[in-house]
């Protein structure tokens, strides 16, 4: 368990973290060479993935994507699956290669992080698909579910590739608080001690610490923020929403009702997130919609707002940039087998 204590970042702790990372990398490289898609490869396959195995996996990926779309339609779970995919990939640290889309979020150790509250239900929803398609890695399944959630909700097709190798053990779980906070006080979220509190209370600085750590740009920060067009936040989880429910969320749909959404139609993927923020900036705020400091700053920060205004004006521009940014996020930290990845043929 990670704890934000004064000695958490001492030399001994850092040495243990480095040793664990090195052990994980050695294990993953060996496993990738021997088994291709990690634990998801059929026992006894041996060697690198053959063309026959690759073709079979591609066929299963197509079928699994269709099943993910059906799951979204049946359970109204697009926001949950998108959040799950993002939280799985958004822990990447480009400085040391740890975190990212490795499937490590399937472990209880990572799901126990405060920022992952409620995501155990996403894992449970996807587990039957993992059993149905055992050759598909957890890392691929989780990122696929996020892409299917966007497309099934009316958003763009994500140019995603597959073949991610699963992290074999929970030693690969990154430290907590690498993901964005919605409101101050903000965590450091980068460096050796992401769980420490930052001395900089500005939301724009926090967003840049989080996303620059992953190697993403200001434009990608704004585009990915547009994913908040889907979903809700709950007062009992984050403490941020002022209302336990609104006229937009009180009836669901789905098993979980209530919460505050960023948009009126929170199961529809469009550019309304930016349009609502623009309206709020111009004095036409809807009091029933959620606006966190990390949302509002998109229309006040000089570098952010040019992209936010662009996306509020043009849904096509938003979709184009979002699809590319989402695909990039989904590959962070991942090892692919085959190295070039596998694309679904539509």
Report how far residue 33's alpha carbon sits from residue 283's, in angstroms, rounded to the nearest whole number. Answer: 58
**Which candidate in 87, 113, 228, 326 is catalytic?**
87
Report how far residue 33's alpha carbon sits from residue 337's, in angstroms, rounded to the nearest whole number. Answer: 9
Whether the Cβ atoms of residue 234 and residue 119 lie closer than 8 Å to each other: no
Number of C-beta neighbours around residue 111 at 10 A: 19
Q: If you write DSSP's letter for every residue of 89-127 in order, what string do you get?
A: HTT-BTTTTBSSSSSGGGSHHHHTSGGGTTTHHHHHHHH
Report how far residue 150's alpha carbon sits from residue 240's, in angstroms, rounded to the nearest whole number. Answer: 25
Q: How deeply is 321 buried, as exposed, middle or buried, from its count of CB atoms within 10 A (0-12, 13-18, 19+)?
A: buried
Report how far residue 137's alpha carbon sits from residue 143's, in angstroms, rounded to the nearest whole number. Answer: 10
Whether the Cβ atoms of residue 151 and residue 158 lie closer than 8 Å to each other: yes
Residue 177 among the catalytic residues = no
Q: Reduced to 3 states, what is the DSSP secondary structure of residue 128?
A: helix
178, 205, 180, 203: which is closest to 192 by C-alpha? 178
* Helix (H), strand (E), coil (C) string for 60-77: HHHHHHHHHHHHHHHHCC
Helix axes 78-89, 315-331, angle to 10 degrees: 50
Give the residue numbers annotated as catalytic, written as ranges. 87
């Amino acid at each position: 368990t990670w704890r934000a204590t004064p000695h958490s970042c001492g030399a001994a702790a850092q040495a243990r973290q480095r040793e664990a990372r090195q052990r994980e990398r050695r294990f993953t490289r060996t496993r990738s060479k021997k088994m291709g898609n990690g634990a998801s490869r059929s026992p006894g396959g041996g060697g690198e993935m053959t063309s026959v195995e690759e073709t079979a996996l591609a066929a299963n990926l197509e079928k699994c994507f269709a099943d993910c779309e059906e799951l979204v339609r049946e359970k109204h779970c697009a926001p949950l699956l998108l959040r799950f995919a993002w939280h799985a990939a958004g822990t990447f640290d480009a400085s040391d290669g740890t975190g990212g889309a490795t499937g490590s979020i399937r472990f209880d150790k990572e799901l126990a992080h405060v920022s992952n509250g409620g995501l155990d239900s996403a894992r449970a929803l996807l587990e039957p698909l993992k059993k149905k398609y055992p050759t598909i890695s957890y890392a691929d399944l989780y990122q696929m579910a996020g892409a299917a959630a966007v497309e099934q909700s009316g958003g763009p097709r994500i140019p995603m590739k597959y073949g991610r190798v699963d992290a074999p053990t929970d030693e690969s779980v990154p430290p907590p608080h690498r993901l964005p906070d919605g409101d101050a006080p903000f965590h450091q979220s980068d460096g050796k001690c992401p769980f420490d509190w930052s001395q900089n209370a500005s939301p724009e600085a926090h967003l840049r610490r989080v996303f620059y750590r992953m190697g993403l740009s200001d434009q990608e920060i704004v585009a990915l923020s547009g994913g908040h067009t889907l979903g809700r936040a709950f007062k009992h989880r984050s403490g941020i929403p002022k209302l336990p429910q609104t006229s937009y969320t009180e009836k669901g749909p789905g098993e979980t009702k209530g919460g505050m959404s960023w948009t009126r139609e929170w199961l529809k993927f469009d550019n309304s997130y930016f349009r609502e923020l623009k309206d709020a900036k111009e004095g036409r705020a809807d009091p029933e919609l959620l606006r966190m400091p990390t949302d509002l700053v998109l229309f006040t920060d000089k570098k952010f707002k040019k992209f936010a205004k662009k996306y509020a004006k043009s849904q096509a521009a938003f979709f184009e940039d979002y699809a590319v940014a989402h695909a990039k996020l989904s590959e962070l930290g991942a090892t692919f087998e085959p190295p070039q990845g596998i694309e679904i043929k539509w």
